[in-house]
Amino acid sequence: MQTAQIISVGSELADSAVLTRDILDEARFEDCSLVEKSLGISEVRQAPDSAKPSQLAIPAARGALLESNLRPAEVDAVIYCGIERDCSEPATAHIIAAALGLRPAICFDVANACHGFVSGIHVANALIRTGDIHHAVVVTAELSSKVTRKVVELFRKNKLGPHDIRTHVGAFTVGDAGGAMVLGPGEPGKGIRQIKSGAVSEHHQLCSYSIDRGKLSFVMDMGRISAVTLKLVKELIDPAYQALGWTPADVDQFIPHQVGARPFQKTLEIVGVSEDKSIATYPKLGNLASATIPVCYDLMKQQGRLSAGTNVLIGSSGSGIAATFMGVSL
């Protein structure tokens, strides 16, 4: 059966770098170093409050397309995977496709919280393997700072207090970015080797976000989310290695989801790879939600760490709770 491979990648970070200390100071926290001390996140990127997801998604996708050297007519699918969309209707994928001069036969949105981008890759991989398409642009963008600003306002107005910190501190850890990958038919011995996924949906209440008639409903219990996610990661890693025919020694580079220092280190321990084989973006970018994987991949590529013959293990997770390991041979 035909395999799929990652042809190119692009990313776009929001312009403004904001210290987490300053965010907590605005929220009138007594300890403005809380996020930095407990999670190792000193700053995040923020776009203007008026920004729309496509404004970060389009340049990320454009960069990936330029690197791919594909003509617009060769793109068969555009899949957008962000938590937020430009509007309820149409799919944000159409807005992105139009801006890039694409007319794909398949154009839709996929949503799966922080796990959305890898879910989009999962779909594109299946479409390529079955021969339904040849090339896909999988793209995402996150504007999580919109939630940050709303939670800051609630703390500042004393509508939230010290007893709400545990369930709301996650709002101060997130940042804004866009990311994209172009997928196409894999060459022999290259491409996406295996995808191993799992979900423990009974924990969906640990991370929830919605806005109803202007009223924010938000909970992000970082401690409990991390505990459940790490347990799921531990359950998945051995079956993933077995399916790939790999051991930890076969992993040249590892890209995990990024939510903070302790989860990052624990994930490395579970996967069995050293920190020098991974990348830590959380200190200066925070949790980029679904944009984490493409941004990390792009940074690794810029650093010259993704040359031909490299085995890359990607570990993604998101609220629900869901997780995936994906093995890629470049």
Contact 206, 319 (CB under 8 A): yes
Q: How far apart are CA 97 and CA 110, in angstroms?
A: 15
User: What percentage of the chain has pLDDT greater than the value 70?
Assistant: 100
pLDDT at 215 over 90: no
For domain 188-329, the CATH class is: alpha beta
Q: Contact 191/152 with Cβ under 8 angstroms?
A: no
- Could you say which of 3.30.300.30, 3.30.70.2740, 3.30.70.20, 3.40.47.10 is the CATH number of the domain covering 4-184? 3.40.47.10
- CA dist 55 and 12 (Å) reads 9
pLDDT band with cut points at 50, 70 and 90 for residue 32? confident
Residue-level pLDDT at 272: 98
* Span 117-175, pLDDT tens digits: 999 999 999 999 999 999 999 999 999 999 999 999 999 999 999 999 989 999 999 99
Structure token digits, residue 304? 């010259």
Which residues in the chain are classed under CATH 3.40.47.10?
4-184, 188-329
Q: Give residue 211's pLDDT band: very low, low, confident or very high (50, 70, 90).
A: confident
What is the tens place of the pLDDT at every residue in 100-132? 999 999 999 999 999 999 999 999 999 999 999
Q: Which two tokens stand for residue 312?
A: 């890359």
| CB 104 within 8 Å of CB 77 | yes
Q: What is the CA radius of gyration of the chain?
A: 19
pLDDT at 216: 85
Beta-strand relationship, 77-80 and 136-143: parallel
How big is the chain, counted in residues?
A: 330
**154-to-18, 27, 36, 149 alpha-carbon distances in Å:** 19, 8, 21, 9
Structure tokens, 224: 């409990």
